[in-house]
Chains A and B, each alone.
Chain A
């Protein structure tokens, strides 16, 4: 990014893109994954993790505000130096590629498990990656508009969860605390971490934001919105199934929707799987964009479009290898812990370096 990007992203788009990136990750299996450790307190654990993540998002936004017209493909080089900065960007880029692939594979595996069993999972993965490439080529202004539209498409489906919520038995939620020891709750919290991967995409959206003054509010609002949804879905799953059954249901979010029958449609879980594609594309495209910008940040001579296409092609080839869904879910649990640790530690380090730089009177074009 040689010149300051044109501010074209509204605050609401900022919220929808951040929350959209979060929603796709793990909402399908989150209740089971957390409840297997945290028991009946699963929803409280999810809520607590969300509140912590909201605070971390504030810090991430603060870091972005230190470099208002540069994204995370530029300022690591300023803070860490050209070599170390590129090393960090490489690790960050690999992480983005892994997350993109994981997102595509998880959705593809879920589809194959629930709906379309004979279709090879790489077909779905290819579709997701192709659509992600299209979204990336639309650049941030177009991509954020798409994420806003996807937000409107997918959020109403979450409202269907109200129906099983009313049918659930609150006795399954009790006692609120005390059912499991603290270390199990902590394990549950770590298991929930994957569901919050991707909030750092705000580092690439921030330079395009129109109203940067209120960005913290919207960024943390996005995470809180995701937290609210996660908490509600987890509580509903626990209430509806009870802990004993919940631990054996692979995709509890879909299972609680499978029993809903409305006038024109009977399997809301199938509808959810279809519409969820839009959110999945938001997440996968955000990571593809991240990887593209980071690669482009390595050398200013790289073209954005060509780099995006190249990375997309690479991911397409990797996606042809089927990963069994259970392995993918297990990997995502581990990945979530690594991802969050990496992002949080980098965040703290960069904030520290940025404050040092500011203290030394470091110049940056935007200031």
Chain B
């Protein structure tokens, strides 16, 4: 009996082994080509899309270089299919770091692009999605400093933006959720190539080898890239979406004020620009302040069919580089500064809110508040238009915790010698 059972188990194991000799899905890593960044650009002529794939070079172990390949196609899937025809490797998206949408492409509906991407099961859903100032291909062709891989350099830049709440980029997951949910639009970081942050740069662009190389692949029109790649990238602000289309842009300070309005600005270094004020800012009227803590509470009332939103903001901050002449240790001066800061913040937030609502975008989930409080008035289909009628009121209270000493500057400022 036991022998029979053992025989049965053995037979089934052998049968299983026959079935299992296929290794159907085995594809070693060396037979794959990884995509660490994808750029999507749109051109007026057919095929409209120009897809740029950024692939790291793995042949040399210590190489930090990448290769950017550009393909003209009708969609990402088609571009990948064209690529597969010309390569012995299999394109894999498991380590995708960034999806870059070009400025023109962002004005087209992106839902099917995203849909296309998500059809690849190994797609990394934590990849960031950003909008490029100008051309996605140009952005991905930048040779970053210290010979780093561009896709990973971008990723590190965006990680820092996330941590410092400096126009934080959404991941693909977050973007798709916002894209699909009425009353909840996305705000994506806008990044652009720049010459260099080094003020001593002569401005002469040297052709680097390796990093910014662009290949033309068959099937696409010839689209010349920059002959000399830029040296660096920087965050320039945010792209404002309505569903799956970009409807406008915000500068970096405007984006920061929106973060304040969302209540997600803790840890942010806010750049503030004040009107000239002889009491506090006789000369320089710029200041950076660290937002240490903030609470943002929203209230909604509907009057005559028009939503009235009221934002109450409490901010605790520490100015980092106050360059005025007033002695802030005196309470009358610090209280005055607090009032001026509060007013400044309130005005800027209001301006940002009015700007985005005028575009018909709702990254602050204002529509969801309407849905919850006034479900009868909620019209998800037309919220993009209805939000333009919304009225806002911002009340801000600022507390300065610490004056602090002057910190290292974020960007070079030519100081006049004393």
Chain A in direct contact with chain B (Cβ < 8 angstroms): yes
Binding site for B on A (CB under 8 A): 113-120, 122-123, 126-127, 130, 133-134, 137, 169, 171-172, 174-175, 240-242, 244-245, 255, 258-259, 261, 266-267, 303, 305-306, 309, 312, 316
Q: Is the CB of A259 within 8 A of B25?
A: no
Q: Is the CB of B372 within 8 A of A171?
A: yes
Q: Is the CB of B16 within 8 A of A127?
A: yes
Residue of A nearest to B7 (CB): A309
Q: B94-136, CB under 8 A of A: which get 1 and which 0?
A: 1000000000000000000000000001001110000000000
Q: A118-B24, A261-B126, A309-B8 are in contact. Are A245 and B181 (CB under 8 A)?
A: yes
Give the distance in Å from the alpha carbon of A332 to the alpha carbon of B322 in the complex. Answer: 67
Give the distance in Å from the alpha carbon of A203 to the alpha carbon of B9 in the complex. Answer: 27
Q: A126-B19, A134-B9 are in contact. Are A244 and B182 (CB under 8 A)?
A: yes
Q: A117-B121, A241-B177, A309-B5 are in contact. Are A171 and B22 (CB under 8 A)?
A: no
Residue of A nearest to B171 (CB): A259
Query: Is B393 interfacial (CB-CB < 8 Å)?
Result: no
Give the distance in Å from the alpha carbon of A16 to the alpha carbon of B96 in the complex. Answer: 40
Query: Is B13 interfacial (CB-CB < 8 Å)?
Result: yes
Query: Is B161 interfacial (CB-CB < 8 Å)?
Result: no
Chain B residues within an 8 Å CB radius of A267? 94
Chain A residues within an 8 Å CB radius of B25? 115-119
Min CB distance B307 to A, Å, is 16
Chain A residues within an 8 Å CB radius of B22? 119-120, 123
- In the A-B complex, the 4 residue pairs with the smallest Cβ-Cβ separation, listed nearest first, are A118-B24, A119-B24, A116-B25, A242-B181
Give the distance in Å from the alpha carbon of A113 to the alpha carbon of B8 in the complex. Answer: 31
Contact of B5 among A137, A172, A241, A266 (CB under 8 A): A137
Identify 9 new A-B residue pairs, CB closer than 8 A, beyond the known A120-B22, A241-B177: A116-B24, A119-B22, A119-B24, A119-B25, A126-B16, A127-B16, A259-B125, A259-B126, A312-B12
Give the distance in Å from the alpha carbon of A175 to the alpha carbon of B284 in the complex. Answer: 50
Q: Is the CB of A259 within 8 A of B173?
A: yes
Give the distance in Å from the alpha carbon of A116 to the alpha carbon of B365 in the complex. Answer: 38
Give the distance in Å from the alpha carbon of A303 to the alpha carbon of B173 in the complex. Answer: 54
Q: Is the CB of B180 within 8 A of A120?
A: no
Query: Is B29 interfacial (CB-CB < 8 Å)?
Result: no
Chain B residues within an 8 Å CB radius of A120? 22, 24
Query: Is B1 interfacial (CB-CB < 8 Å)?
Result: yes
Query: Is B80 interfacial (CB-CB < 8 Å)?
Result: no
Q: Is the CB of A171 within 8 A of B368?
A: yes
Chain A residues within an 8 Å CB radius of B177? 240-242, 245
Q: Is the CB of B121 within 8 A of A113?
A: yes
Q: How many A-B residue pairs have CB under 8 A?
A: 70
Q: A116-B25, A117-B25 are in contact. Are A130 and B13 (CB under 8 A)?
A: yes
Query: Is B184 interfacial (CB-CB < 8 Å)?
Result: yes
Give the distance in Å from the alpha carbon of A134 to the alpha carbon of B13 in the complex. Answer: 11
Give the distance in Å from the alpha carbon of A212 to the alpha carbon of B271 in the complex. Answer: 70
Chain A residues within an 8 Å CB radius of B121? 113-115, 117
Q: Is the CB of A245 within 8 A of B180?
A: yes
Chain A residues within an 8 Å CB radius of B94? 267
Query: Is B176 interfacial (CB-CB < 8 Å)?
Result: yes
Chain A residues within an 8 Å CB radius of B12? 130, 133, 312, 316
Q: A115-B121, A118-B25 are in contact. Are A123 and B372 (CB under 8 A)?
A: no
Residue of B nearest to A309 (CB): B8
Chain B residues within an 8 Å CB radius of A171? 365, 368, 372
Chain B residues within an 8 Å CB radius of A114? 121
What are 24 A-B contacts with C-beta separation under 8 Å? A113-B121, A116-B25, A117-B121, A120-B24, A122-B19, A123-B20, A126-B19, A130-B13, A133-B12, A171-B368, A172-B181, A174-B372, A175-B372, A175-B375, A240-B177, A242-B180, A245-B176, A245-B180, A259-B126, A267-B94, A305-B1, A305-B5, A309-B5, A309-B8
Residue of A nearest to B126 (CB): A259
Give the distance in Å from the alpha carbon of A137 to the alpha carbon of B372 in the complex. Answer: 56
Contact of A133 among B9, B184, B368 (CB under 8 A): B9
Chain B residues within an 8 Å CB radius of A134? 9
Give the distance in Å from the alpha carbon of A139 to the alpha carbon of B15 in the complex. Answer: 24
Residue of B nearest to A123 (CB): B19
Residue of A nearest to B27 (CB): A118
Chain B residues within an 8 Å CB radius of A316? 12
Q: B157-189, CB under 8 A of A: which get 1 and which 0?
A: 000000000000001010011001110100000
Chain B residues within an 8 Å CB radius of A306? 4
Residue of B nearest to A137 (CB): B5
Residue of A nearest to B179 (CB): A245
Chain A residues within an 8 Å CB radius of B173? 259
Chain B residues within an 8 Å CB radius of A174? 372
Chain B residues within an 8 Å CB radius of A259? 125-126, 171, 173
Near A by CB (< 8 A), chain B positions 356-379 give 365, 368, 372, 375
Give the distance in Å from the alpha carbon of A115 to the alpha carbon of B5 in the complex. Answer: 34
Give the distance in Å from the alpha carbon of A240 to the alpha carbon of B174 in the complex. Answer: 9
Q: Which of B181, B184, B365 has the most CB of A within 10 A?
A: B181
Chain B residues within an 8 Å CB radius of A130? 12-13, 16
Chain A residues within an 8 Å CB radius of B125? 255, 258-259
Chain A residues within an 8 Å CB radius of B182? 244
Chain B residues within an 8 Å CB radius of A175? 372, 375
Give the distance in Å from the alpha carbon of A98 to the alpha carbon of B177 in the complex. Answer: 37
Min CB distance B237 to A, Å, is 24
Chain A residues within an 8 Å CB radius of B124? 266
Residue of A nearest to B369 (CB): A171
Q: Is the CB of B180 within 8 A of A244?
A: yes
Chain B residues within an 8 Å CB radius of A305? 1, 4-5
Min CB distance A281 to B, Å, is 14
Give the distance in Å from the alpha carbon of A172 to the alpha carbon of B20 in the complex. Answer: 44
Residue of B nearest to A130 (CB): B12
Min CB distance A181 to B, Å, is 14
Give the distance in Å from the alpha carbon of A122 to the alpha carbon of B24 in the complex. Answer: 13
Q: B1-43, CB under 8 A of A: which get 1 and which 0?
A: 1001100110011011001101011000000000000000000
Residue of A nearest to B176 (CB): A245
Chain A residues within an 8 Å CB radius of B180? 242, 244-245
Give the distance in Å from the alpha carbon of A267 to the alpha carbon of B122 in the complex. Answer: 9
Give the distance in Å from the alpha carbon of A169 to the alpha carbon of B375 in the complex. Answer: 19
Chain B residues within an 8 Å CB radius of A137? 5, 9
Residue of A nearest to B23 (CB): A119
Min CB distance A269 to B, Å, is 9
Min CB distance B298 to A, Å, is 11
Give the distance in Å from the alpha carbon of A114 to the alpha carbon of B119 in the complex. Answer: 10
Give the distance in Å from the alpha carbon of A309 to the alpha carbon of B2 in the complex. Answer: 12
Chain B residues within an 8 Å CB radius of A258? 125
Chain B residues within an 8 Å CB radius of A117? 25, 121
Give the distance in Å from the alpha carbon of A344 to the alpha carbon of B401 in the complex. Answer: 65
Min CB distance B381 to A, Å, is 12
Chain A residues within an 8 Å CB radius of B126? 259, 261
Q: Is the CB of B5 within 8 A of A244?
A: no
Give the distance in Å from the alpha carbon of A289 to the alpha carbon of B5 in the complex. Answer: 16
